[in-house]
Amino acid sequence: MAAPRRKLRKERRRRSFLVLVEGKVTEEAYLLFWKRRLREHVLVDVPDFHGTPMSLVEKAVAMKEAEEKEDRRGRGRMHDEYWCVFDVDVHPYLEEAIALAETNGVRIAVSNPCIELWFLLHFQDQTAYVDRHEAGRLVKEKLGSGKRLTPEALDDLGENFDIAKQRARHLESKHHGDGTPAPGNPSSGMWSLIDALMNAPEG
């Protein structure tokens, strides 16, 4: 009697993210931390391209369109989600960049005034207006590191994600209630990107 054929286990498909980040140091290190932590669950590509919000969105749109073209030809595979991460700072054409992203299905994670505001929310509430220099100073006090995040600092950020997300969402509600145009100071949408990575459905 022939041995029963073993059932082949269907390979689990991880959801894939293309994420373009403004900063060459801090933002990239932070995303690579989550890429490693969630590598069994999602695929995260962080291209070596940096620039202003508009240049990031234009690049993401171009990459998305190129992948769609290849996908129609039956070659390659598209990413499931396309994201851009940038600060408000003093960038020109910020509103236009946000509108372009929305029109083309590119999601954004914007921090106002800067990514350090997002890090600060891991350790304290911050509801009053804050400039980038003060936010950077406060984060350095909390993490013991500046632009170059140490492994210990990244671990601290990872452990405190849930409370930072709660505080960021509270700020969104506060600005909405006040009628503040998005993205108001202080605020950060970084929680939405990390949340999407953590809760990505399996394909």
What are the tens digits of pLDDT across the range 8-64? Answer: 444 568 999 999 999 889 999 999 999 999 999 999 999 999 999 999 999 999 999
Query: Sheet containing 187-188: which strands, arranged edge to edge?
Result: 42-45, 15-21, 81-87, 107-112, 187-188
Give the confidence band of 148 by pLDDT, cuts at 50, 70, 90.
confident
Q: What is the pLDDT of residue 203?
A: 60
Q: How does DSSP classify residue 70?
A: H
Mean pLDDT of 111-134: 97
CA atoms within 13 A on the CB side of 107: 18
For range 108-128, the mean pLDDT: 97
CB of 94 closer than 8 Å to CB of 118 = no
Cβ–Cβ under 8 Å, residues 132 and 26: no
Q: What percent of the chain has pLDDT over 70?
A: 94
Q: How far apart are CA 151 and CA 131, in angstroms?
A: 26
Comparison of pLDDT for 156 and 147, the residue scoring more:
156
Q: Which residue has the tokens 């140091």?
A: 25
Contact 120, 168 (CB under 8 A): no
Residue 8, pLDDT score: 40
pLDDT of residue 74: 84
Distance separating alpha carbons of residues 169 and 201, to the nearest angstrom: 22
Residue 107's nearest CA partner among 191, 201, 13, 14 is 191
- Output the pLDDT for position 11: 56
pLDDT over 60 at 3, yes or no: no
Predicted local confidence at residue 1, as pLDDT? 47
Give residue for tokens 């391209």.
49
Please provide the average confidence, as pLDDT, over all residues in the chain. Answer: 92
pLDDT of residue 196: 98
Burial class (CB in 10 A: 0-12, 13-18, 19+), 119: buried
Q: What is the pLDDT of residue 89?
A: 84
d(CA 103, CA 84): 14
CA 3 to chain centre: 50
pLDDT of the residue at 167: 98
pLDDT of residue 40: 94
